[in-house]
Amino acid sequence: MTHNLEGRDFITTQEWTTDELELALNLAADLKDKKRTNKPHRLLTDKTVFLFFFDKSTRTRNSFEAGITQLGGHAHFIEASTSQVAHGESPKDMGIILSSYGHGIAIRHDLVPGEGNKYMREVAEHASAPVFNMQCDVDHPFQTLTDLMTIREKFGNNLKGLKIAVSWAYAPSYAKPISVPQGLITLMTRYGMDVTLAHPPEFKLMDDQIELARNNAQTGGGKLEIVDSMDAAFENADIVYPKSWGVLDLFGNPDEALKLAANYKDWICDDKMMSIANKEAIYMHCLPADRGNEVTDSVIDGPHSVIYQEAENRLHTCKAVMALTMGGIKNQSG
Ligand code: CP
Same domain? For 131 and 169 the reply is no
Q: 272: domain CATH number?
A: 3.40.50.1370
Q: What was the pLDDT predicted at 329?
A: 82
Q: What angle do CA 131, 134, 139 make, to 5 degrees?
A: 100
Q: What was the pLDDT predicted at 331?
A: 61
Cα 79 to ligand 1 centre (Å): 15
Q: How confident is the model at residue 2 (pLDDT cuts 50, 70, 90)?
A: low
**How many helices (H) does the chain have, and how many strands (E)?**
12, 11
pLDDT mean over 246-252: 95
Better-predicted residue by pLDDT, 329 or 209 = 209
Contact 149/28 with Cβ under 8 angstroms?
A: yes
Same domain? For 95 and 208 the reply is no
Across the chain, what does the average pLDDT equal? 97
Cα 58 to ligand 1 centre (Å): 5
Q: How confident is the model at residue 210 (pLDDT cuts 50, 70, 90)?
A: very high
Same domain? For 100 and 222 the reply is no
Q: What was the pLDDT predicted at 328?
A: 87
Q: What was the pLDDT predicted at 1?
A: 56
Q: CB 248: neighbour CB atoms within 10 A?
A: 17
Same domain? For 278 and 165 the reply is yes
Q: What was the pLDDT predicted at 334?
A: 57
User: What does the pLDDT look like over 162-189, one tens digit per residue?
Assistant: 999 999 999 999 999 999 999 999 999 9
Cα 180 to ligand 1 centre (Å): 10
Same domain? For 223 and 161 the reply is yes
Same domain? For 96 and 114 the reply is yes
Q: Provide the domain count of the chain.
A: 2
Q: Which domain holds residue 226?
A: 143-311
Closest atom of ligand 1 to 142 CA is: 3
**Is the pLDDT reported for residue 243 higher than 90?**
yes
β-pair type (223-227, 332-333) = unpaired
Same domain? For 192 and 168 the reply is yes
> Which of 110, 308, 314 to mutate to test ligand 1, by most ligand atoms within 8 A of the CB atom?
314
pLDDT mean over 121-141: 98
Whole-number percent of the chain with pLDDT over 70: 98
Same domain? For 19 and 150 the reply is no
Q: How confident is the model at residue 3 (pLDDT cuts 50, 70, 90)?
A: confident
Cα 176 to ligand 1 centre (Å): 11
- Closest to 238 in 3D by CA, of 163, 161, 309: 163
Assess whether the C-beta atom of 286 lies below 6 angstroms from ligand 1: yes
**Is the pLDDT reported for residue 333 higher than 80?**
no
- For 124-140, b/e burial (b = at least 16 CB within 10 A) is bebbebbbbbbbbbbbb
Same domain? For 288 and 322 the reply is no
**14 phi and psi, to 5 degrees?**
-60, -30
Q: What was the pLDDT predicted at 146?
A: 99
pTM of the predicted model as reported, rounded to 2 decimal places = 0.97
Cα 57 to ligand 1 centre (Å): 5
User: What does the pLDDT look like over 39-96, one tens digit per residue?
Assistant: 999 999 999 999 999 999 999 999 999 999 999 999 999 999 999 999 999 999 999 9
Give alpha helix (H) positions in the chain.
18-36, 59-70, 91-101, 116-126, 141-155, 179-188, 207-220, 230-234, 254-261, 271-276, 297-300, 307-325
Same domain? For 27 and 51 the reply is yes
Assess whether the C-beta atom of 315 lies below 6 angstroms from ligand 1: no
Assess whether the C-beta atom of 305 lies below 6 angstroms from ligand 1: no
Q: What was the pLDDT predicted at 332?
A: 65
Same domain? For 174 and 319 the reply is no
pLDDT mean over 24-29: 98
Same domain? For 62 and 156 the reply is no
Q: Which sign, positive or negative, has the C-alpha torsion 171, 177, 183, 186?
A: positive
Q: What was the pLDDT predicted at 263?
A: 98
Q: How far apart are CA 315 and CA 139, in angstroms?
A: 18
Assess whether the C-beta atom of 66 lies below 6 angstroms from ligand 1: no
* Residues sharing a CB contact under 8 Å with residue 18, sequence separation 6 or more, in sequence order: 190, 191
